[in-house]
Amino acid sequence: MIIQLMWKISNGDGGAKVKSVTRNLIREIGKTKNRFMSIFTICAIGVGFFSGVRATGNDMKISADNYYDQHELFDLRIMSTFGLTEGDLSAIGEVEGVSAVSASKYTDLTLSYNGKDYNTKVYSWDENNQMNQINLLDGRFPQAEDECILNSSKLREGMKIGDKVALSDSTGAEEFPLKYTEYTIVGTFDTPMFISSTQRGSTSIGNGSLNAFLYVTESNFMQEVYTEIYVQSEKLKGMASYSDEYEQLRDDIAGKLEKLGVPRSEIRYDEVIGEAQQDIKDGEEELGKAKTEGQQELDDAKKELEDAAVKISDGEKELEEAAQEIADGEQKLNEAKQTLADGKAELDKGWAEYYENEDKLAEAEKTLNESRVTLSDGKKQLDEARQTLENSKAKLDEGQAEIDENRAALEAGKTQIAEGKAQIEQAQQQYDAGLAEYETQYAAYEQGLAQYQAGLAQLEQAEGLLGSDNPELVQQRAVLEQTKSQLDGAKNQLDAAKQQLDAAKLLIDENSAVIAEKEQEIAAGEEQLDEAQKQIDEGIVQYNEGLAQFNQKWAEYEDGVRQYNEGYAEYSDGLKQLNDGKNTLIKAEKEYNDGAAELAEKEQEFLDGKADYEDGLKELEDAKQQYADGLAEYEDGMATFNREIADAEKKIADGKEKIADAGEAKWYVFDREDNPGYAEYESNSERIDKISMIFPIFFLLVAALVCLTTMSRMIEEQRMQIGTLKSLGYSNGVIMRNYLLYAVLAAASGSIIGAFIGMFLFPFIIMFAYGMMYIINNYYFELNPANIIISAGSMVAAIALTVFFSARKALAETPAELMRPKAPKAGKRVLLERIGFIWNRLSFFGKVSGRNLFRYKRRMFMTVIGIAGCTALSLTGFGLKDSIGDIVDLQYNSINQYSGFMAVEDDLSQEELQNVYDKLLDYEPDTEYTRALIKQYTLSSESGNVQCYVTAIEDTDIFEDMIDFHGRTSGEKITFGTAEDGVIVTEKLTKLLDVKQGDKVTLKISDGETREIIVGAVTEHYTSHYLYISGEKYAELFGNQPEYNVVYFRNGIEDDKEVQDAFSEKMLGVDGVLSVSMNAGATSTFSNMMKIMDLVVIVLIVSAGALAFVVLYNLTNVNITERIREIATLKVLGFYDNEVASYVFRENVILSVMGAVVGLGLGTALCQFVIQTAEIDEVMFGRNIHPLSFLWAFLLTVVFSLIVNLIMRRDLKKISMVESLKSVE
Amino acid sequence: MAFVTLKDVYKRYHMGEVTINAADGMTFDIEKGEFAIIVGPSGSGKTTVLNMLGGMDTCDEGVISVDGARVDRFNRKQLTNYRRYDVGFIFQFYNLMPNLTAKENVELAAQTTKDFIPAAEILEKVGLGERLGNFPAQLSGGEQQRVSIARALSKKPKLLLCDEPTGALDYNTGKMILKLLQDTCRVDGMTVILVTHNSAIAPMADRVIKIKNSKVESIIRNDNPTHVEDIEW
């Protein structure tokens, strides 16, 4: 449905309306990032945790299976008391279902390194073997026989590649099983046969527990038969290692092999015993023959030695003759060498002369060539000089012509100047005349002016006397005025004339200057011309000199040419003479070479002869040496012969004894379960499976609950928007789709991302934790669709349904109702207010918070439940850790009071038994001990069958000190006396059988034979299942006396590994003691395993913590969004930031504390439930949660709540008053 | 200097590329003890002015001074103190705490200051002496607004700021509220600034500041304010 919706929307199927609604949705997501991310994160954590933890168990098994397959681990392993042969190998290969077989040898030895001993299994290594592939970690495989590779974890104890380790046999066998006792480590490895790095299995040597294993090349093994044969089946390989189908088929094949073992063992027995008998008979015969043959051989040798002595003296004589011959040959050879050397000297001299002459000729030729070049160069230079001379002559002629031309031009210029001068003189004269005229006129004018001024003075005088009105005076004035005007006219004319004159004068001066300049130019021109003429004259002189030189050079050149021709003729003659000389020399040389070759041949012949002689000499020496050796050998042989005869006689005697001792031949078929760590790994993975049954579901529930709360409140908040959309005509479906999409988008994306991260993260962390204990280091992850679909699907569906119902409720209302702000829930008095003595003591804000809390009951419950869920999850995590951690302490320190127990042979005689006891008392006189028979039987009730150890005790009084029998809840002490029928049963066993004290259970003692037993008392017990009875009760039930196979002891031994190992080793050395198990030793193995469980639990706690954090954040966020108006109002009223924060957070903290308290109760129940579900059958977990765990779970929640509040303070501060109060309008 | 002074006050909102001026250089004065009405159409910026005056919002530029203090220069803490001690706010939708009784709502405000009028006394004064124990949901709109006024007055503010106090009330109730506010101004000498889009009630004010397009359009000083009872709209 959801996918369809999204499809429709993305296709625009819903039209424009849907588009804008979708836009609205995207905007809504952006606006409510916090809420969207909260849902996203909660879903991611919830689904991630669920799908991850649930996948882990399976992933562990797959990883292991892949590891086994990759390393070709065997499916079945066969051993025989008589060893296995090639015949066995091929017979096994033919069994139906067997697809591959492989054989190997091994032996248990003590490895010594750095003063310490290690119980070591030494395997044969065959590089062609494909089965149980070794994973070489470092170094290389052994090549030489004295090389070995060592299992990797031993490196931690200081051993390293290149070190030597010593091997020794502590069993006291007469023959050491390997070729060498010291091996060099060349590499380290892991093997799929030993996957646990803490458990190595057991051995029959040392303290009984295996410490190391190594591989050496197969040729090292002295034994011929195989120790083990490994079997693989193609069909089994295709199955998952720990699956039921695997186990069934494996058991089928094992059955067939066991059946095959019966006849094969017989054959082997006959072969070995028959062979041995035959060997002895043959040996005896051989011995007799050897005695006579040996003596004969010795005699022959003696004779041979004597012959050799004669041969040696003959050889010596022959060699002396040869020496004389060699001396003669050498003299002849030296003479021939001298003759040849003389010839060679002469020849060399001839050649030297030839080369000298050749050099001289070459020199002459070079000189000739050089002079030819010089001559032709000279010719070229002369030609060039001639050309230059001609060119300069032409240039000189040209220059003379130019000079003549210029001189003519100068003459013309001189004439023009003279004319100009004459003109200027004329103008000067005219000017002088004009000036005189002007001066004359000017004098006349000045005179007139003086007259006029005199007249005017008079007139003014007269006017002063007569008054200005006098007509005469008036007339006079007029005359005067006229005169004045005439005078002014003259003056003007004069000024004009003066101006003209000045202009003329200026022109004259200018022209004079020009003329002077021209004159200067002419003078300069003449000077230049004279200079040029001088140069031309000098040029002509130079030209004539050059011509004379040229003529002289030309004569010299012609002389040179003649000399060259003469030289060339001389050179040609010389060359001919030289060539003749060369031919003569070559002929002489050839003769010499022939002679030399002959000499070399003769010399080689001589050397060969000499070498032969030397060889002969050496041969003689060798022969002498051989003779001496032969003599020594002969003496040794004599000694050996005597010793071997003695040895053989002893062997025959031993063989006879062995045959008498040899037991029965029998096959044993083992499967992988017997590999140390193999089964344990399975139970570890199953433990994880069990934990993942219930814990993740609760986890998911809390996550879903919080998401639901968030979404339903979102719808409530969006009433107004829903109303608006409705009033705009959007259909209910489209609006619904909007909110559905929002919710589904957040939940689905979170779930999917969470699922994919979780699917890898959780298995990885847990497998990584187990990786510390197992060598399985390749991690496989299987996509488990069921887990993802269940978790993601239920998450998304739950949220979608919530939105659907909430939205449907809202959509049922009319737009008008929706758009009106929903009347805030009416305030009312809460119950608390009626309790006056509390209410009256609360502060004002205390009262406010109190009322707020109880007003929104639903919110309160949702918050409290959400927080409680997280607290419960944390507490469960802590509780699980406590329960598992307690097992070791409770079982091994409180309940098991014994120091250890020894497995002893069940048919010990009284003396042997007393010897064991004596050894115990030797070690510590104050030792308590008693015997017991431990054997596994099937116990059943109506609820099912359980394998348990029936333990029959020889002395129950002492045994009550060994194990603290008591009821877990009652704490009441239990004794065999108080328990009904003297039967004490461990608690987990009664739980599995679903019986209680007084009930009857059925014990199957053999096929078809059962006994009814009453559960007499139930005792607290954590590991494995036991049914304790007294020896007498056993005899009564089974009808025979118990054959005790175990001795429990309590000797207060120090809890120190070395002390305990020393003790174990000591006791193992006692006859009849098969193994020693120390209580403290079991503790350490178990606590190792528990350490890993701790890590797993930490993963749970951290996940729960993460969920708690997100849940708190989300709830607080929702709370703030809901009450934003109230918060804004407080801000407007001038509340400080911290006052506002405390107003909001006071309620949160109260809710967190309430939630945490409720969560502690819920967690206690959940923890009990998880523990009971998670328990594996073999082990009962502790049932107590430590007080500190309650405290931690509580504090974790409260601290997270405070952190969230701190983060939210920021958001509170950011709330804008204006925006928040406006929104209602 | 006047009791309340705004000088060249600017408030800008940036919406991506666009800048919107909610206050575009507003300047006006209001004297102590005056009843001032800021009137203008929706979106003209009157509420912005009131928010800035009340210290709920800050201005980008300009001077806002109240009783000599430069509100525009206040930091966050000073603004909170200013709201706490100097200003009383009345909203259109009352903004009462729904989960507190009338008396508790008033007491809530009184929690912030030492010098306050006891809740019972002030509620008596606004005519709710009988309804002290009622929750807001049990009160009518007018009564709720009275609680809101009582809450504002209880801490003896210097300035009473009212944002459309009658906007959600019917005519008669609205008139009663306005009368209460006017009386508070006249009798107690409280400086009241009221924001409304209803220009009909302008005559009751001592000073009417008309705002349009984020600017002050006119300031009219009314020497003879009309009594609320005599105004009809």
pLDDT digits (tens, 9 = 90+) for A241-299: 888 889 899 999 999 998 888 888 888 888 778 777 777 788 778 888 887 888 788 88
| CB distance A1120 to A34 below 8 Å | no
| CB distance A741 to A28 below 8 Å | no
**Residue among B29, B26, B1 nearest B191 (CA):** B29
Given pLDDT bands bounded at 50, 70 and 90, which one contains residue A199? low
What is the per-residue pLDDT across A147-171, written as a single tens digit (0 to 9) for each? Answer: 999 887 665 567 888 888 888 887 7
Determine the residue among A842, A1129, A1142, A1143 to mutate to test chain B binding: the one whose Cβ has the most chain B Cβ atoms within 10 Å: A1129
Determine the residue among B53, B97, B134, B163 to mutate to test chain A binding: the one whose Cβ has the most chain A Cβ atoms within 10 Å: B97
Cβ-defined contact of B99 to A1136 (cutoff 8 Å): no
In chain A, the residue whose alpha carbon lies closest to the alpha carbon of B139 is A826
Nearest CB neighbour to B83, from listed A844, A851, A1133: A1133
pLDDT of residue A156: 59
Cβ-defined contact of A1134 to B56 (cutoff 8 Å): no
What are the chain A neighbours of B109 within 8 Å (beta carbons)? 1133
Determine the residue among A1133, A1135, A1223 to mutate to test chain B binding: the one whose Cβ has the most chain B Cβ atoms within 10 Å: A1133
pLDDT at B88 over 70: yes
**Residue among A990, A995, A1046, A993 nearest A1019 (CA):** A990
CB atoms within 10 A of CB A400: 14
| CB distance A123 to A178 below 8 Å | no
pLDDT of residue B193: 92
Given pLDDT bands bounded at 50, 70 and 90, which one contains residue A576? confident
In the numeric block, which tokens belong to residue A224? 């011929």
pLDDT at A1 over 80: no
Rounded percentage of chain A residues whose pLDDT exceeds 70: 95
C-alpha gyration radius of chain A: 66
pLDDT of residue A824: 58
pLDDT at A338 over 90: no
What are the chain B neighbours of A844 within 8 Å (beta carbons)? 104, 107-108, 111
Determine the residue among B42, B48, B79, B95 to mutate to test chain A binding: the one whose Cβ has the most chain A Cβ atoms within 10 Å: B95
Nearest CB neighbour to B99, from listed A851, A1135, A1137: A851
pLDDT of residue A762: 87
What is the per-residue pLDDT across A961-976, written as a single tens digit (0 to 9) for each? Answer: 899 999 988 888 999 9
Pairing of strands A944-953, A928-941: antiparallel
| CB distance A695 to A54 below 8 Å | no
In the numeric block, which tokens belong to residue A1202? 């405070």
Round to whole Å and give the CA distance between A200 and A193: 10
Cβ-defined contact of A1132 to B89 (cutoff 8 Å): yes
pLDDT of residue A860: 83
Burial B95-116 (b: 16+ CB within 10 A, else e): bbbbbbbbbbbbbbbbbbeeeb
| Cα–Cα distances in angstroms (integers) from residue A967 to residues A985, A999, A1028, A1079, in the given order | 11, 16, 15, 22
- The reply to whether B112 touches chain A by the CB within 8 Å rule is yes
Bigger pLDDT: A34 vs A1176: A34
Residue type, A816: A
Average pLDDT over chain A reads 84
**Residue among B146, B135, B141, B136 nearest B184 (CA):** B146
Beta strands in A1016-1055 (DSSP E): 1017-1019, 1026-1030, 1046-1050
Cβ-defined contact of A1134 to B135 (cutoff 8 Å): no
Angle A1147-A1149-A1150 from CA coordinates, rounded to 5°? 65
In chain B, the residue whose alpha carbon lies closest to the alpha carbon of A851 is B99
pLDDT of residue A155: 59
The mean pLDDT of A387-408, rounded to a whole number, is: 86
| Cα–Cα distances in angstroms (integers) from residue A1097 to residues A885, A1101, A1156, A1199, in the given order | 11, 6, 20, 20
Cβ-defined contact of A824 to B95 (cutoff 8 Å): no
Round to whole Å and give the CA distance between A3 and A89: 62
pLDDT of residue A828: 66
**Residue among A138, A133, A144 nearest A156 (CA):** A138
Nearest CB neighbour to A1133, from listed B92, B93, B112: B112
What is the per-residue pLDDT across A835-882, written as a single tens digit (0 to 9) for each? Answer: 777 777 777 888 888 888 877 777 788 888 888 988 998 898 888 888
The mean pLDDT of A88-93, rounded to a whole number, is: 88
Given pLDDT bands bounded at 50, 70 and 90, which one contains residue A319? confident
What is the per-residue pLDDT across A1140-1186, written as a single tens digit (0 to 9) for each? Answer: 888 888 888 888 899 999 999 999 998 888 887 777 677 788 888 89
Angle A372-A376-A381 from CA coordinates, rounded to 5°? 145
**Residue among A1158, A1172, A466 nearest A872 (CA):** A1158
Rounded percentage of chain A residues whose pLDDT exceeds 90: 9
Residue ranges of B 192-221 with Cβ closer than 8 A to chain A: none
Which residues partner with A178 through β-bridges?
A221
Cβ-defined contact of B95 to A823 (cutoff 8 Å): no
Residue type, A498: K
Provide the shortest C-alpha distance from residue A828 to chain B (in Å): 7
pLDDT at A888 over 60: yes
pLDDT at A466 over 90: no
pLDDT at A540 over 50: yes
Highest mean pLDDT among A192-206, A312-326, A872-886: A872-886
Alpha carbons within 13 angstroms on the beta-carbon side of residue B88 total 29
Q: Phi/psi of residue A96, each to 5°?
A: -65, 135
Nearest CB neighbour to A827, from listed B56, B109, B137: B137
pLDDT of residue A327: 81
Bigger pLDDT: A475 vs A1026: A1026
pLDDT of residue A17: 53
Cβ-defined contact of A826 to B80 (cutoff 8 Å): no
Highest mean pLDDT among A243-247, A329-333, A341-345, A681-685: A243-247
Domain boundaries, chain B: 33-58+85-230
pTM for the structure as a whole: 0.61
Cα torsion angle, A230, A234, A236, A238, sign: positive
Long-range Cβ contacts of A996-1000 (<8 Å, 24+ apart): A999/A941
| CB distance A898 to A1050 below 8 Å | yes
| CB distance A825 to B98 below 8 Å | yes
Of the listed ranges A27-36, A653-662, A860-869, B33-42, the one predicted with least confidence: A653-662
pLDDT of residue A12: 41
**CATH code for the structural domain at B33-58+85-230:** 3.40.50.300
pLDDT at B160 over 80: yes
What is the per-residue pLDDT across A984-1031, written as a single tens digit (0 to 9) for each? Answer: 999 989 988 889 899 999 988 776 788 899 999 999 998 888 999 998
Q: Phi/psi of residue B12, each to 5°?
A: -120, 145
pLDDT of residue A5: 39
pLDDT of residue A11: 43
Note the maximum CA span of chain A. Answer: 213
Q: Phi/psi of residue B209, each to 5°?
A: -110, 115
Bigger pLDDT: A823 vs B213: B213
pLDDT at A930 over 90: yes
Cβ-defined contact of A827 to B112 (cutoff 8 Å): no
3 state SS of A1177 = coil
Given pLDDT bands bounded at 50, 70 and 90, which one contains residue A1048? very high
Angle A812-A818-A823 from CA coordinates, rounded to 5°? 120
Residues in chain A: 1225
Cβ-defined contact of B83 to A852 (cutoff 8 Å): no
- The reply to whether B98 touches chain A by the CB within 8 Å rule is yes
Report ipTM for this prediction: 0.91
In the numeric block, which tokens belong to residue A195? 């996957």
pLDDT of residue A825: 61
Residue A749 makes CB contacts below 8 A (sequence gap 6+) with A40
Angle A558-A559-A560 from CA coordinates, rounded to 5°? 90
